[in-house]
Structure 1
Amino acid sequence: MMKSLCVCVLLIGVANGLSLSSPSTQKPLHSRRVVLSTLSTAALSYLLVPTIALAGEGVNQRKFQRYPSIKFIAALGDPMASSGVGADAWGLWREDPGPRGVYLRDYDRRLLSNNNVAPAGWTFDPTDWWVEEHGLIMSTPEPLPRKRYDKDAGVVLPEKRYVVTGDRAVTTILTVRDDGSWELEKGTLYDVTHLPCRSAAYRGETCAPRNANLKDFPVKPGAEMPKIDGCNKQDYAVLFVLGEEL
């Protein structure tokens, strides 16, 4: 079984300030690799609910639709900050990039020899390629959407809200805006970063997967991704995205 970007066991509770709406028979979210412990009944019940309703004092109720499967944000910013700028440089994986990845050791055989097209169908970008903690080359994430279409008003709003978590103590709402600003309604960027997930982009004219030292992998949870000769490295925080505002 191919390893994916990171292990996750989602134990998300209503204590985080999210109340729930009508139940559903949808299948629960899948873990990202091998589940290391059994989901509690309460957590499983939470994940079965497709719509999250959030209401606060003086705020109209907002509804967030749960995704059928987890998405993943690659974020940059001060780990201790609850808001900032630069979300225009953040990325989004709509599918788990790990199982669709190619190991660094297999670059020549599975990417280079196939015109940089991975077996899963994505195209390797030699100017901007991404690696996770086990040494899997991943697809480059798309830019994170920062606008939302309001069906009721019939207009496009210059901001978008997501339900995010680090699979630890905090599950909260992330707002990103078209100007690149962002803010969390609770906690810090560190609080919603899934620490076992390590992800970095490698860039540069002389940057190539064959320059990597395979002994540098796997990377320990919380550690920086390794440097690769000839590459400019940028580490990214990985956030689990459970849903978005309707």
Structure 2
Amino acid sequence: MAWVSIMSILIGFTVGSQSYFDAWLLPTIPGKPSKIIPIAYDNDKNGETWLQYDDGEANYVLVGLDDADTLCVYFEPPEPCSVLAMEICAMNYYGSANNAVLMFIALTDTDLTLDDWNEYHSGDPIPGPSPILQFVAGPITSKPLSSEEWTWDTLWIPQGNVPDVGTNPFVAGWIKPLNDSSPNPRITPEMDPPWHSIIHRYEPFNGGAPGWYASWHQFWIRALVRIYELPAVNVWIPDTSGMSGDTVLIPILTEDLTGLDVYSVGTEITF
């Protein structure tokens, strides 16, 4: 019950040069410093959360990328956050000599939305603007990608350069050699809109000018973020008490609306 009623602020403390911890900063009493309550998380990522739009299950590879050179995912943070890392899942499907990609994380123009990119499978599409405004990590060469199984790789942002994006969108992705059908991303195919995968093509197969397009195939590119404000929760009282004078215990339930709550992931909590 205290978690619901205490007005507090989530902050991070740095100890030395390498470690830090999260804590609640309680309201101050005049003339005295605020007390802090360290937060103990229930998972092994210390409150960090992976953002992803793939289903985590599909086992498909995207081919036909001879005219493509950049694949990325447009992330829309559900709560204010800082970006810590990105990861990819891909393979060198055709065994190309080019068995690595250049991984990156970038800020995007905050005036852009997913509506700015047309899906390249439909009609004679018109390309949209570049989603890349400023690189904040990379491009850096990935580990060699296997031609026999999926390869996972992670790009971390140095602690001193971690960008605070708030709720602004950002992109993470990788660059491949042009005129080569590999490397290839793992995908969740034929997703319903909104489409978060964006690809740069020089010659879209169904016509259209060279440029940036959305894809209904969701690339397996994920971003690790640190949420620094409490996600929204829905609070309700499911039971009612009678008219008697007896003391009645009434449960109060909260439901995490974003899946990013520091106490649970998409579950209900009873106080």
**So what's the TM-score if we normalise by structure 2?**
0.21
Higher strand content, 1 or 2? 2
Larger RCO (CA within 8 A; separation ≥ 6): 2
**So what's the TM-score if we normalise by structure 1?**
0.22
Q: Which has the larger radius of gyration?
A: 2
